[in-house]
């Protein structure tokens, strides 16, 4: 790929307590410093969903210290790819950004058993995204 800059991805959902937190954690875990990762919510919750924290811990990713963050225009402007997960029309749109909308069930109010399939779906989508936005290299 001719572009050697580090791609940046912003994951957005309403509360930044479930789907976007899982997606950001998977991308950070899988990509390391090859991708800049952000997550935010249009109406952030006070804490990350405990069932989401537990489901991620089951796959070896600790997000217990994460805190939901408010969506800002600056975060969108600083990102190459913006992935929304149910934030509707509250996500600002800027020219030159790539927008994807991932239709995923909301884990809010769900137990860990209901969160697992959402987690696994997000992991696969993140793996596909990573393969698409980063050059392949085998180490």
Q: Of 52, 83, 85, 91, which one is the catalytic site residue?
A: 91
Tell me, yes or no, if 118 is annotated catalytic. Answer: no
Q: Of 9, 10, 12, 13, which one is the catalytic site residue?
A: 13
How many residues in total does the chain contain?
139
Tell me the C-alpha to C-alpha distance, in Å, between residue 41 and each of 18, 37, 56. Answer: 10, 14, 19
Report residue 16 as tokens: 């930044």
Tell me, yes or no, if 91 is annotated catalytic. Answer: yes
Tell me, yes or no, if 13 is annotated catalytic. Answer: yes
> Is the four-CA dihedral 42, 48, 54, 56 of positive or negative sign?
positive
Contacting residues for 58 by C-beta, under 8 A, at least 6 apart:
112, 116
Cα end-to-end span (Å), the chain: 18
Q: Of 82, 87, 129, 133, which one is the catalytic site residue?
A: 87
101 φ/ψ angles, rounded to the nearest 5 degrees = -120, 115
Residues assigned a catalytic role: 13, 87, 91
């Amino acid at each position: 790929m001719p572009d050697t800059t580090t791609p940046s991805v912003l994951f957005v959902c309403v509360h930044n307590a479930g789907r976007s937190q899982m997606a950001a954690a998977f991308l950070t875990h899988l990509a390391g410093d090859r991708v800049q990762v952000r997550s935010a919510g249009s109406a952030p919750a006070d804490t990350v969903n405990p069932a989401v924290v537990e489901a991620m811990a089951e796959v070896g990713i600790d997000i217990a210290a994460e805190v939901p963050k408010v969506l800002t225009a600056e975060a969108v402007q600083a990102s190459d790819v913006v992935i929304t997960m149910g934030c509707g029309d509250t996500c600002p749109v800027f020219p030159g950004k790539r927008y994807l909308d991932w239709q995923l069930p909301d884990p809010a109010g769900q137990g860990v058993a209901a969160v697992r399939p959402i987690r696994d779906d997000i992991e696969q989508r993140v793996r596909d995204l990573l393969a698409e936005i980063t050059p392949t290299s085998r180490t």
